[in-house]
Every structure is written in structure tokens, then in C-alpha cells.
């Protein structure tokens, strides 16, 4: 079961596509964060979703919201994919222990071995203010991101 809105987002430390450790707590008191869990790099729906976010990065940048993608892929896979697609936001490897952060957020699909398509919009205090999850194979809408960020900063 996915974490509910108005609960404190679990802290984590994951490696990004460049090998740097990113802690969610580093953003507390600094800026809001949007966590975008996605199943796998180089897959069609995931690539379409993240390319749409890349093409509309202003939604987040204009509101001073950090956009972060998370999958069970290795940092090497995420780096190759990120460079191939021109992603300018961090891609975090929830690689080992396998899917641990996705499990803590309640969005890991045990039978598939990866995270569901789930988004958590977290305020400056580390509290989940908005979240949305789509059925397997269904992309999240850009409007859902716009609405969540507008509600967060509005």
C-alpha cells in the first residue's frame, strides 16, 4: 500500500547516475521535491513519461521544485539512458538492496521486481502533499504534475 498524503516521506540515501549520493533529507527546509518512481530505463512508457517531464522541466524549475527519478536500474544504466535522452534531473538507482526505497514508499511490485509508476510531491518540511499512481502500462499525465506542483506552491 502506497504511503498516504500528509505523512512524512521516508528519508533515503541513493546513488545518482553519476555516482553521487543523494539524501532526501538534504532538501528539507530548502525546497520541495517530486519523486518519480518508474519501472525501468529504456522501456517505452517510462521513456515517454520522462521525456515529457524533460520537455516541460519548467513546471518544476519555475516553482523551485526538485525533480528526481527513481528506478531499480543500476547507476550505469541510468547514466547511459540519461545521457542518451538528455535528462537534466537526477536519476537515482534503487538497485541494492533491490527496490528498498520503493518498498518503503509502498510502490514496489514484488511479482515484477520493479516499482510501479508512482509520484510523490513532497513539501519543504518533508511531508507528502500529493501523490498519484497509474495502473501498470499507463503513463501519468502531465496535468497531474502541473496540478500537484501548483497546489504545493499555490
Q: What is the pLDDT of residue 67?
A: 98
Ranges of residues in the chain with a pLDDT under 70 are none
Contact in structure between 145 and 53 (CB atoms under 8 Å)? yes
Q: What is the pLDDT of residue 142?
A: 97
Q: Per the structure block, which three cell numbers stand in for 4?
A: 498516504
User: Among residues 14, 35, 46, 93, which one is catalytic?
Assistant: 46
DSSP for 62-75 reads: TTT-EEEEEESS-H
Q: What is the pLDDT of residue 61?
A: 97
Q: What is the pLDDT of residue 136?
A: 80
pTM (whole model) above 0.95: yes
The whole-angstrom separation of Cα 49 and Cα 89 is 13
51 is catalytic: no
Amino acid at each position: 500500500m502506497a504511503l498516504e498524503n500528509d505523512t512524512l516521506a521516508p528519508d533515503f540515501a541513493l546513488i545518482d547516475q553519476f555516482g553521487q549520493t543523494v539524501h532526501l533529507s538534504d532538501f528539507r527546509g530548502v525546497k520541495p521535491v517530486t519523486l518519480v518512481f518508474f519501472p525501468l530505463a529504456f522501456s517505452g512508457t517510462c521513456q515517454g513519461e520522462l521525456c515529457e517531464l524533460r520537455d516541460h522541466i519548467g513546471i518544476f524549475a519555475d516553482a523551485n521544485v526538485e525533480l528526481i527519478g527513481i528506478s531499480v536500474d543500476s547507476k550505469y544504466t541510468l547514466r547511459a539512458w540519461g545521457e542518451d535522452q538528455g535528462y537534466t534531473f537526477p536519476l537515482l538507482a534503487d538497485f541494492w538492496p533491490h527496490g528498498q526505497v520503493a518498498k518503503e514508499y509502498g510502490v514496489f511490485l514484488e511479482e515484477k521486481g520493479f516499482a510501479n509508476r508512482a509520484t510523490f510531491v513532497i513539501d519543504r518540511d518533508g511531508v507528502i502533499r500529493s501523490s498519484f499512481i497509474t495502473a501498470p502500462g499507463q503513463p501519468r499525465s502531465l496535468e497531474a504534475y502541473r496540478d500537484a506542483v501548483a497546489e504545493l506552491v499555490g
